[in-house]
A and B are shown apart, each in its own frame.
Chain A
Amino acid sequence: MGHKVEKLKPAEKTSSLPVLVSAQAVTKIYRSRHGDSVEALAPTTLDIREGEFLSLIGPSGCGKSTLLRILSGLEPLTGGTLTWRDGPPTAGSDVGFVFQEPVLLPWLSILDNVRFPLDVFRTPRAEANERARAMLALVGLGAFEKSLPKELSGGMRQRAAIARALVYSPRIVLMDEPFGALDLLTRDRMNDELLRIKAETGSTIVFVTHSIEEAAYLSDRVAVMSARPGRISAIHHLDLGPQRSEAIKDDPRFYQWLSTLRKELR
């Protein structure tokens, strides 16, 4: 697809990619003990395309995390269908998930943590070590493979968590406010890291955030969600080009998108 994609505008480029997973009218209804039901997610339809960076953005209670957890298989859906291009995920290695907290295993070194999924999948040790080291180098933690999680800063721990989610090359990487607990400066740096990692791995990423700027800076597409009941109120293709960098933050189009998204979230 190479050269053809290059000529297209970013918006068209995204829509020309094959659909990886298609959510058709998926809903999530929680029933309380007293029989009341809460509609966490109203019927929602969304196609996620191979290799795109899609953000889900919205206020608390808009169902963005619920939608992400449905995609991950952590949350069973109460209605609708989820169709995967190559069949539903069967092995654990199909989905990568990054939580708001690093959720590292504190007794394992950073290398062992990143290799952890491969150990669970019984990948031969030599190959597993090689892949984990390559992933650590990719996230800039090559020098810290022997460190324990408690010896690293919050940003570094979150990089290790990202490396762990990517180490088995999952079909899709789901991130639930992965930088929400970091300070602003670290968060900016992590955003640039994530763009670089995305460019190098070509992963499909669905990213939940409630930062408008983060969503606009990172995403090919942004799904704006609203609450009560949780639903997608708009989906935007951002025409900011596939190559993002700090410079984009001075681009008038970037400001245009920030203000558009901000208005929609009001």
Chain B
Amino acid sequence: MIRTLLSLAGFILAWWGLVVLFDVPSYLVPSPLELAEKFWFLTTQAGLFGHVPVTVMEIIVGFVIGTVVGVAAAVLFTRFPMVEVVLNPLIIFIQTAPKIAIAPLLLLWLGLGATPKVVLVAIVSFFPVLSNMLSALRSIDPNYGALARILKMNAFQRLWRIELPQSLPLLFAGMKVGVTLAVTAAVIGELMGARAGLGYLLSLGQETADVALVLVAVILLSLIGYLLYVALGAAERRLLGWHESRASAAPAVEG
């Protein structure tokens, strides 16, 4: 934590030094102080904190939907291979299509509100979750399936008591990829057309050549992405203490 703060402080000092040293005009690169002033102005006068929750909600709601649908699809695919045979070409087609190209369509269909952004976020976070969850479910040692059959576990018990916990390490890897994509997707959606959100502020800053506004939005977006990533990491540490990747203890006693 201290190291993070130190490197952050170093970065700000270097930025400030360069701006002062080369006398960079503030309409190109504002100094940290000017940026802080802008931030204060936006917060107190321009309702910045109305824009932050808009984007955060789009990211979280879309990400949760994408994750849940991704996990459910992976479970369906492994249970009913026919579903995968039928749906896989379509999914690969959507997956390989650049998601930015879908954004205008979503906006045309769903308007300028939060819905098209949520859908876009859900779509981009769906794929890494789906593919990681699929390989997780497929790489479960068949002996666990045999154990489940010996104990005559039903499909739900197998899923809840064996397959989901077993898949968590890879699922988290997929979610971590998904959450960073989710931030990008929300911004892209908002850049293309929105009345609120940090992406809207970005385009506003671009149109009015307000570098400070753009920088504030960028910093806030990075911060949101970072915090979501850290939250996922904390959940992962809490849930995956048992996993080999977190192994600390060697076998305690021989016997």
Q: Point out residues on A near B: beta carbons under 8 Å.
A: 72-74, 91-93, 95-97, 99, 101, 103, 105-108, 116-117, 119-121, 140, 144, 147-156, 159, 186, 189
A74 near B149 with CB under 8 A, answer yes
- Once the chains are docked, how many angstroms separate the CA of A103 from the CA of B255? 18
Give the size category of B's interface with A.
Answer: 20 to 34
B6 at the interface (CB under 8 A from A): no
How far in angstroms is the closest Cβ of chain B from A74? Answer: 6
**How far, in Å, is B103 (CB) from chain A's closest CB?**
39
Q: A105-B161, A140-B255, A186-B254 are in contact. List 5 more A-B contacts (CB 8 A).
A: A91-B152, A101-B143, A107-B242, A147-B252, A148-B249
- Decide yes or no: A156 and B253 within 8 Å by CB, A73-B149, A95-B150 being known contacts: yes
Query: Judging by beta carbons under 8 Å apart, are B242 and A150 in contact?
Result: yes
Minimum C-beta distance from A4 to chain B (A): 35
Q: Which residue from chain B places its CB closest to the CB of A97 in the assembled complex? A: B150
Cα distance, A77 to B240, chains bound together (Å): 40
> Which residues, 30 to 49 on B, are CB-close (under 8 Å) to A?
none
Tell me if B136 is interfacial: C-beta within 8 Å of chain A: no
- A sample of 19 cross-chain residue pairs with beta-carbon separation below 8 angstroms, ordered by A number, consists of A74-B146, A91-B152, A92-B151, A95-B150, A97-B150, A101-B141, A106-B242, A107-B165, A119-B161, A121-B151, A148-B242, A149-B242, A150-B244, A151-B251, A151-B252, A152-B251, A153-B253, A156-B255, A159-B255
Q: Report the separation of the CA atoms of residues A144 and B255 in the bound assembly, to the nearest whole angstrom.
A: 12
**B254 near A153 (CB under 8 angstroms)?**
yes
Does B162 lie at the interface of the complex (its beta carbon under 8 Å from any beta carbon of A)? yes
- Asked if B144 is an interface residue, CB under 8 A from chain A, the answer is yes
Task: Check if B243 sits within 8 Å of A106, measured CB to CB.
Answer: yes
B153 at the interface (CB under 8 A from A): yes
The answer to whether B252 touches A152, judged by C-beta atoms less than 8 angstroms apart, is: yes
A72 / chain B contacts, CB cutoff of 8 Å: 150
Q: Is the CB of A120 within 8 A of B157?
A: yes
Given contacts A147-B252, A186-B254, contact A99 B143 (CB under 8 A): yes
For B249, give its contact among A103, A116, A151, A156 (CB under 8 Å): A151
User: Are A155 and B151 neighbours in the complex by a CB distance under 8 Å?
Assistant: no
Q: Which residues on A sit within 8 Å (CB–CB) of B151?
A: 92-93, 117, 120-121
Interface residues of B in 234-255 (CB under 8 A from A): 240, 242-244, 247, 249, 251-255
Judge whether B13 is part of the interface by a CB distance below 8 angstroms. Answer: no
